[in-house]
Amino acid sequence: MAFLEISSLQKDFGSARVVTDFDLAVAQGEFVSFLGPSGCGKTTVLRMVAGFETPTSGTIHIDGQDVVSFKPNQRNIGMVFQSYALFPNLTVAQNVAFGLRVAGRPKAEIQATVREMLALIKLEALGARYPFQLSGGQQQRVALARALAVKPKVLLLDEPLSALDAKIRVSLREEIRAIQQQLGITTIFVTHDQEEALSISDRIVVMHNGRADQVGTPFEIYNHPATRFVASFVGSINVLNGILLEPERGIVALLGDVQVHLGRPLAGRQNDEVTLALRPESVTLGGNGGGVQLKGQVESVNFLGSVIRLSVRVGGNLMLLDGFNQPSSPPPKVGETVQVSFGAEDLMVPGE
């Protein structure tokens, strides 16, 4: 049995089902992200693991023990909230010591642990400050230290970076990942930010309408999306509708008359509609990108720094393409007719 095992979890609020048939096995020391839009049920699953919500049905095992009947304060779980939730009347050191004091640990041990934790988050000098004297990023680090001080079995992070500004968000997420790996603590991280999830997770659970659409490594999720939703939610994507011409040989008609050989058999029957997906970075400006060559008109040019994103109208479809910025070759202008190309093997069939 995995360290954290969730089986057939279900949650209804009144007549609304917010979590449906949720299964997940998390290994000890693993970092798993729940990714999805708001209202997809990711926070509800997290809160059921923490004990703040009771499942309508299903089980949650932590370290071999069914914890569904346990109260939140009996589960030995560390939780970090989006709003930090530091106790405003306590200093940083007292906040970190809170869980240990509640557990009635000896004073010397509490002091040692608090020092260790403050060193871990690199805030040794600020132990005597009150939360209101800290920046948002510092407060969230204290919240992390407070959650870790009780040596929890599982660490739960509920959108911990959402209230911070962009720069801090990136540095703190790296810090969280480093601390998590250093301590080897099993962690669930809830976020609606795909870049966040992709960059720090061992595995990602993409959630949609209360279900786990796909569970996999960031590489799998990004490159082999299991559903159309995963394909469109994680990263930018071009969705192309086509007609299946020859399922066995994988020949599809795109944009009306362009025949594309995928080189692998596809599920379905002749003349079925198929949805194909293509990452913007798989499309190249000019004719060197692969076997599929198309012509279109540039509709917009977005300069994003290292990457330039073009949208090109091809037939009736708008196609996004990403290219690296090269100082020697400026991007085309809006309205220009350009050739774009991509390899047929880069076309993804969601769910394949």
Partner 1 sequence: MRGRRLWAWLALILGMIYFALPLIGTLEFSLRMRRGEYSLDAYRVILSDPHFHATFGFSVLMALGTIVLGVLLVVPTAYWVRLRLPRWRPVIEFLTLLPLVIPPIVVVFGYIRLYNTSSWLPLTGSVGGTNLLLLFGYTVLALPYMYRAVDTGLRSLDVATLTEAAQSLGAGWITILWRVILPNVLVAILSGAFLTFAIVIGEFVLAALLNRPAFGPFMQLIGANRAYEPAALAVIAFAITWLCMGLIQLVTRFQKHTQIRQR
Told to check if 87 binds partner 1 by CB under 8 A, we report yes
**Residue from 103, 112, 119, 334 in contact with partner 1 (CB under 8 A):** 103
Stretch of residues binding partner 1 (CB under 8 A), selected from 111-119, 143-151, 201-209, 332-340: 143-151
Q: How far is the CB of 64 from partner 1 (least distance, A)?
A: 20
Distance of CA 116 to the CA centre of its chain: 30
Told to check if 296 binds partner 1 by CB under 8 A, we report no
Q: How far is the CB of 152 from partner 1 (least distance, A)?
A: 8
Q: How far apart, in whole angstroms, are the C-alpha atoms of residue 192 and residue 162?
A: 9
Largest CA distance in the chain: 77
Give the CA radius of gyration of the chain. 24
Q: How far is the CB of 191 from partner 1 (least distance, A)?
A: 18
Q: How far is the CB of 138 from partner 1 (least distance, A)?
A: 14
Q: How far is the CB of 95 from partner 1 (least distance, A)?
A: 9
Size of the site for partner 1 (CB under 8 A): 32
Told to check if 89 binds partner 1 by CB under 8 A, we report yes
Told to check if 102 binds partner 1 by CB under 8 A, we report yes
Distance of CA 178 to the CA centre of its chain: 17
**Residue from 132, 304, 327, 328 in contact with partner 1 (CB under 8 A):** 132
Residue whose CB is less far from partner 1, 51 or 242: 51
**Residue from 98, 124, 181, 317 in contact with partner 1 (CB under 8 A):** 98
Residue whose CB is less far from partner 1, 56 or 76: 76
Told to check if 73 binds partner 1 by CB under 8 A, we report yes
Stretch of residues binding partner 1 (CB under 8 A), selected from 30-38, 141-149, 160-168, 253-261: 141-149
Q: Which pair of structure tokens corresponds to residue 143?
A: 């919240």
Stretch of residues binding partner 1 (CB under 8 A), selected from 96-104, 115-123, 169-177, 183-191: 96-104
Distance of CA 277 to the CA centre of its chain: 20
Stretch of residues binding partner 1 (CB under 8 A), selected from 48-56, 107-115, 204-212, 284-292: 48-56
Residue whose CB is less far from partner 1, 79 or 308: 79
Q: Which pair of structure tokens corresponds to residue 62?
A: 């932590």
Per residue, what are the HEC states of the chain? CCCEEEEEEEEEECCEEEEEEEEEEECCCCEEEEECCCCCCHHHHHHHHHCCCCCCEEEEEECCEECCCCCHHHCCEEEECCCCCCCCCCCHHHHHHHHHHHCCCCHHHHHHHHHHHHHHCCCHHHCCCCHHHCCHHHHHHHHHHHHHHCCCCEEEEECCCCCCCHHHHHHHHHHHHHHHHHHCCEEEEEECCHHHHHHHCCEEEEEECCEEEEEECHHHHHHCCCCHHHHHHCCCCEEEEEEEEECCCCEEEECCCEEEECCCCCCCCCCCEEEEEECHHHCEECCCCCCEEEEEEEEEEEECCCEEEEEEEECCEEEEEEEECCCCCCCCCCCCEEEEEECHHHCECCCC
Told to check if 49 binds partner 1 by CB under 8 A, we report no
Q: How far is the CB of 251 from partner 1 (least distance, A)?
A: 56
**Residue from 5, 39, 68, 81 in contact with partner 1 (CB under 8 A):** 81
**Residue from 16, 38, 71, 306 in contact with partner 1 (CB under 8 A):** 71
Residue whose CB is less far from partner 1, 127 or 331: 127
The residues that touch partner 1, with contacts defined as CB under 8 A, are 50-52, 71-79, 81, 83, 85-90, 98-99, 102-103, 130-132, 143, 146-147, 150, 156
